């Protein structure tokens, strides 16, 4: 069905209103079956829904199904002789108030990020000034691949809003980020229902600050105190937080790691420098995650010149003083952010983590056993216990051994859900 001759003015961004015109794009992913439910929900909300399918999408769900649900003939071809008698693809681009692509595959994201217009759906996206949203859906490894993350960042810069993806079981048998948000969650975001669902994982207006890596506490011009932290976990958290759509600031100690796409990076050396930066930024963030392995002590005085060995003396005495407690300082701020801490322990891991959660008044803590050589510092894998406050109770979630990048998505998802719960509780309090 061709678009109306005279398109209506674009509706301002925000929640959907009855009568809004939604162009629902469906690309070639197994999640395409969910798009039928999504189309139905939007129609029930009073929207006019025009479905556009890629060629591959038709292998997963038939156009006839979508036509029956929307009452409009599905558009599938850029070179449809009937529709193009009046430049139908341009009229359709003008017709839409919003363009929503669900599912959006890695291939489609790559083509849109490069500005390609090689089928009807990508052509419409380039030709339309409508608000544009997409719900990514793909294998977890494909979603985490640097190329996909670069494309996602480019799409955000081009004005696209990314809804999700969520994490969980996938059709291929993998577990991790890449699942398309459920239709009711996407509809809730678009309709602005105010309910807390899996859509709370969408964090486009959140600012997350993360500390990472070790600190170096100088003894003299050539020596320092430090630890074995590689920064891998903190950088994985920054990448996962950015993938959720959040604005991310990464405060990192000295590590040789590339900055994740779209993340603002601030490099520091010492614990005092990290605290100064953290205090400045924490006043303007929603979640503060203290993942850095901050040195507990520093030299009382730093020698001006290299400390020399003294002949005949077998010992060297250093006077150390305690470093500031960054995570406790941030959690003590009035009207401060939600604070997530880490507890890297070698024994009694959960007991120490619970004590730290209470003692430092944290909202959530991630506990891991760094005594295991295949986990923790320097490793690509990690396992953790997530503990968080739920009213007067402390809830618990066990995360088995997995890639740090995968664990990072689970941590970010839990933190965002806790934030949404806390805000919902605050808004409904008498």
What is the tens place of the pLDDT at every residue in 263-315? 999 999 999 999 999 999 999 999 999 999 999 999 999 999 998 888 878 88
Average pLDDT (158-165) is: 86
pLDDT of res. 144: 83
pLDDT of res. 189: 73
pLDDT of res. 91: 81
Instruction: Give Cα separations from 187 to 41, 54, 73 (angstroms).
Output: 7, 22, 22
Given a cut of 90, whether residue 188 has pLDDT beyond it is: no
pLDDT of res. 185: 79
pLDDT of res. 15: 52
Residue 309, annotated ligand binder? no
Average pLDDT (94-99) is: 90
Q: Using an 8 Å Cβ cutoff, are 104 and 137 in contact?
A: yes
CATH top class, domain 207-304+316-428: alpha beta
pLDDT of res. 419: 87
Residue 325, annotated ligand binder? yes
Q: DSSP class of residue 307?
A: P
Report the predicted TM-score, pTM, of the whole model to 2 decimal places.
Answer: 0.62
Is there a common fold for 21-197 and 207-304+316-428?
yes
Residue 251, annotated ligand binder? no
Comparing 7-11, 23-27, 146-150, 381-385, the range with the smallest average pLDDT is: 7-11
Q: Looking at 47, 125, 172, 285, which residue is catalytic? A: 172
Residue 118, annotated ligand binder? no
Comparing 92-96, 169-173, 254-258, the range with the smallest average pLDDT is: 169-173
Rounded CA separation 152/244 (Å): 10
pLDDT of res. 54: 93
Comparing 1-10, 283-292, 326-335, the range with the smallest average pLDDT is: 1-10
Q: Using an 8 Å Cβ cutoff, are 45 and 100 in contact?
A: no
Average pLDDT (416-428) is: 70
Q: Which residues have CB under 8 Å from 107's CB, separation 6+?
A: 27, 28
Q: Using an 8 Å Cβ cutoff, are 55 and 76 in contact?
A: yes
Q: Using an 8 Å Cβ cutoff, are 238 and 247 in contact?
A: no
Comparing 54-58, 162-166, 230-234, the range with the smallest average pLDDT is: 162-166
Of 142, 148, 208, 131, nearest in space to 172 by CA = 142
Helix (H, G, I), strand (E, B) or coil at 207: strand
Rounded CA separation 341/364 (Å): 6
Q: Extract the tokens encoding 71.
A: 């009452």
What is the tens place of the pLDDT at every residue in 365-417? 999 887 776 666 667 788 889 999 988 889 998 888 888 887 888 898 889 88
Q: Using an 8 Å Cβ cutoff, are 190 and 183 in contact?
A: no
Residue 19, annotated ligand binder? no
pLDDT of res. 87: 46
**CA 78 to chain CA mean position, Å:** 34
Residue 412, annotated ligand binder? no
Q: What is the DSSP code string of 367-379?
A: EEETTSTTSSTT-
Residue 391, annotated ligand binder? no
How is the chain split into domains, by residue range?
A: 21-197, 207-304+316-428
Q: Which residues have CB under 8 Å from 45's CB, separation 6+?
A: 16, 18, 187, 191
Rounded CA separation 379/306 (Å): 33
Q: What average pLDDT does the chain have?
A: 84
Torsion angle of alpha carbons 8, 9, 10, 14, nearest 10°?
-100
For the domain 21-197, what is the CATH superfamily, name and number?
Flavin prenyltransferase-like (3.40.50.1950)
pLDDT of res. 422: 75
pLDDT-derived band at 99, boundaries 50, 70, 90: very high
**Residue 172 designated active-site:** yes
Residue 326, annotated ligand binder? yes
Residue 199, annotated ligand binder? no
Of 360, 412, 404, nearest in space to 386 by CA = 412
Strands 247-252 and 338-345: unpaired
pLDDT of res. 3: 38
């Amino acid at each position: 069905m061709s678009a109306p001759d005279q398109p209506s003015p674009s509706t301002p961004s925000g929640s959907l209103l009855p009568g809004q015109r939604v162009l629902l794009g469906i690309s070639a992913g197994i999640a395409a079956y969910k798009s039928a439910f999504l189309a139905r929900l939007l129609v029930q909300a009073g929207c006019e829904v025009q479905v556009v399918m890629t060629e591959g999408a038709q292998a997963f769900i038939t156009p006839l199904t979508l036509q029956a649900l929307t009452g409009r003939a599905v558009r599938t071809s850029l070179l449809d002789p009937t529709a193009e008698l009046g430049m139908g693809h341009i009229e359709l681009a003008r017709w839409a108030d919003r363009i929503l692509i669900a599912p959006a595959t890695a291939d489609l994201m790559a083509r849109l990020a490069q500005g390609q217009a090689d089928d009807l759906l990508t052509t419409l996206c380039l030709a339309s000034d409508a608000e544009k949203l997409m719900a990514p859906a793909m294998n977890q490894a494909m979603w985490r691949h640097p190329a996909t993350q670069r494309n996602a960042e480019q799409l955000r810069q081009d004005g696209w809003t990314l809804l999700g993806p969520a994490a969980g079981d996938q059709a291929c048998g993998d577990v991790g980020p890449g699942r398309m948000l459920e239709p009711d969650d996407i509809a809730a975001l678009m309709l602005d229902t105010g309910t807390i669902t899996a859509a709370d994982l969408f964090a486009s207006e959140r600012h997350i600050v993360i500390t990472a890596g070790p600190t170096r506490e100088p003894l003299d011009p050539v020596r320092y105190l430090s630890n074995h932290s590689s920064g891998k976990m903190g950088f994985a958290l920054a990448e996962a937080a950015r993938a959720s759509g959040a604005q991310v600031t990464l405060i990192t100690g000295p590590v040789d790691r590339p900055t994740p796409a779209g993340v603002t990076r601030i490099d520091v050396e010492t614990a005092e420098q990290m605290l100064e930066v953290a205090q400045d930024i924490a006043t303007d963030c929603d979640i503060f995650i203290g993942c850095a392995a901050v040195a507990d002590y520093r030299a009382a005085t730093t020698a001006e010149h290299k400390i020399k060995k003294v002949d005949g003396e077998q010992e060297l005495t250093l006077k150390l003083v305690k470093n500031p407690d960054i995570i406790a300082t941030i959690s003590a701020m009035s009207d401060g952010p939600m604070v997530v801490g880490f507890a890297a322990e070698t024994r009694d891991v959960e007991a120490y983590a619970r004590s730290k959660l209470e003692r430092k008044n944290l909202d959530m803590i991630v506990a891991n056993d760094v005594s295991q050589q295949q986990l923790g510092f320097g490793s690509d894998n990690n396992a953790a216990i997530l503990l968080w406050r739920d009213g007067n109770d402390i809830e618990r979630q066990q995360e088995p051994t997995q890639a740090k990048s995968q664990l990072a998505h689970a941590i970010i998802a839990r933190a965002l859900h806790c934030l949404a719960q806390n805000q919902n509780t605050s808004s409904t309090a008498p």
